[in-house]
Chains A and B, each alone.
Chain A
Amino acid sequence: MNFTLTDIPLNYYLGLSATLFSIGIVGVLTRRNAIIVFICIEMMLNSVNLTLVAFSAFLGNPTGQILVFFVMAVAAAEAAVGLAIIIAMFRNKMTVNIDEINIMKW
């Protein structure tokens, strides 16, 4: 029994990644902890990776998989910068709760 990626219909992959993407966006908009917000952003990027890999396999075209490598590298860089900024924020305010980060509004 040899299963390949293309044994499952393309729409299943797209549906799964759209669901993951939506969960990610809802998480960014509703969660109050800055670290959870970053995890949700990572989830959005990974759902995009799933879309790209699925399209790439079904089109028989490697370009999408190359983009996935770049997205993973950029996501790592973004996480590094993001966590550094959260630490700087925490040293100033002793909290990572986004609701309390409110010196500036309107």
Chain B
Amino acid sequence: MLEQILQSIKYFQPETALVVSFCLIVIADLFLKKRNELTSYLALIAILITAYFLVQQGTVGTQSIFFDMFAIDPFSLFFKAIILTSSFFVILFSIYSKELQGRPKGIGEYNALIIALTLGMFLMTGATNLLMIYLALELSSLTSYILAGYTNEAKDSSEASLKYIIYGALSSGIMLYGISIIYGLTGSLDLNTVHQALVLQSVNQAALIIAGIFIVVGFGYKISAVPFHFWTPDVYEGAPVTITALLSVASKAAGFAMLIRFIKVTFIDPAIGNLGPGMWAVLRGFDWNFVLAVLSVLSMTIGNLVALSQKNLKRLLAYSSIAHAGYMLMGLVVFSNEGIAAVMIYFIIYLFMNLGAFYVIMLVADRIGSENIDDYRGLGYRTPLIGVSMTIFLLSLTGVPPTAGFIGKLYLFSALISAKVFWLAIVGVLNSVVSLYYYVRVLRNMFLRDPQPNAQPLHFSNMEILILLLLVVPTFLLGLYFTPIVEYAQASIGMFGVR
């Protein structure tokens, strides 16, 4: 037993590095007191060290560690890379965020909590046991609740935090009830054993359906799919912009990783291979295709339609991120390797374009003190670089060529077409058209309306512009040269315990 734990720790270095750096940052915060903005640089160093260990972890291949609690495989490594990159950018953003740096209590705990949140999301990507899934979900949720209310002098931030914790606790409670039913039906919490039990025994179908729906509530809350999305707009609007960016990218990626692994390990029958190469057959009992298709259509449609009437840009992007969860669920509905690869390609692109859009909101809100779309009028003339960058991000979120968002959508739709799910592809395309309207409304305000008469040009420091370029350039270039990310995603669909 001890031997296996020692063996496992060897493969667990990135997570261990995060735990150690969390403790170090908490201690450093105590000693630095007045100069606690230095902890941001500590957090950046911690993330770089974790990245080094993550590359090392990539060389060990597929492993199951800690008594089948946690898996290390190309699939989880891919999502860990996405999560780590977005945490890196978010800490960079917060160094320049006036909203956070102006606080009397400083930013030390904030950095420590971001590291803890990253750890929680790392554990979500690799969890292969329902106990581990629940704990990882709670670790990442609890830290997000605190971070969403971090600027608690602001009324909207503490309100966001309260709404978040009520929805989050309710959803995870419902999910836990589903887990307890699965445990009662199969006698195990390990996903592989649950799968064996579902294949070999005949379980009570009604109970299995109830358990499946309850568990979907937990996952749906994490990826903010309709009808479990009610927290999303409020939290995205009220939380600090940096945290909104992190929740919209990393948290969603971790939720998707967990959902894909849960479905693929538990409910896919590898024995039925007559659907053609790369296609998966779902076990009898719970119709995942139907449930996911409903979630996907609802998320896309409601996300896009409600976004049409938004006045606050952060809230608009919240509804847009709900719609994007719907697009990505489309890739899951087809149940093929191609679909999963398309979701993963989409996440790489989504990382750059969404973080970029939130970064622009942060820069502008720090200067003009507003997130209202009306206050963006003439912004393209007051600060051309920001205006052009925002244009690229928003067009990419719509999926207009030649930006990267087009490539993401292209692969998603081609996965749908090759699986012959035409109706869903049509719904997706129609939704993309609707989304064009509200993204272009922001662009129209920036470029086609004159600035207010007393408006001054805005100025940004070199470092802020450099960070912006780090996000704009990939968003643009990945639309023209995308072979590496496609190959990387297609090579990363290997998962532990699945042939």
Asked whether A21 lies within 8 Å of B177 as measured between CB atoms, the reply is yes
Contact digits for A44-76, partner B, Cβ 8 Å, 1 yes 0 no: 110110011001000101011011001100100
Quick check: is B74 within 8 A (CB to CB) of the other chain?
no
Q: How far is the CA of A85 from the CA of B156 in the complex (A)?
A: 12
- In the bound complex, residues from chain B placing their C-beta under 8 Å from that of A91 are 152
Is B169 among interface residues, defined by CB-CB distance under 8 A?
yes
A23 within 8 A of B: no
Checking A45, A59, A61, A101 against B162 with a beta-carbon cut-off of 8 angstroms, the contacting residue is A101
Query: Of B160, B177, B181, which one neighbours A104 at CB under 8 angstroms?
Result: B160
Query: How distant is the Cα of A106 from the Cα of B176 in the complex, in angstroms?
Result: 29
Contacts of B306-320 to chain A: CB distance below 8 A = 306, 309, 315
Tell me whether B131 and A78 are in contact (CB under 8 A): no
The contact of A52 among B145, B180, B188, B237, by CB within 8 Å, is B180
Bound CA–CA A45/B145 (angstroms): 19
Q: Chain A: how many interface residues by the 8 Å CB criterion? A: 43
Contact A41 B181, beta carbon cutoff 8 Å: no
Is B189 part of the contact surface with A, judged by Cβ < 8 Å?
yes
What mask results when residues 82 to 97 of chain A are scored 1 for a CB within 8 Å of chain B, else 0? Answer: 1011101101110000
Cβ of A45 to closest chain B Cβ, rounded Å: 6
- A104–B309 Cα distance when bound, in Å, is 14
Q: Is B161 an interface residue (CB 8 A)?
A: yes
B469 at the interface (CB under 8 A from A): no
Answer whether A85 and B142 are a contact pair too, CB < 8 Å, given A55-B184, A61-B187, A104-B156.
Answer: no
Docked pose: A79 CA to B170 CA in angstroms:
13
Pick 29 A–B contacts, CB within 8 A, sort by A: A14-B184, A21-B177, A34-B162, A38-B169, A41-B169, A45-B176, A48-B173, A48-B176, A48-B180, A59-B184, A59-B187, A64-B180, A67-B134, A67-B180, A74-B135, A78-B165, A81-B145, A81-B165, A82-B169, A85-B165, A86-B162, A88-B152, A88-B161, A89-B162, A92-B158, A101-B162, A103-B155, A104-B234, A105-B234
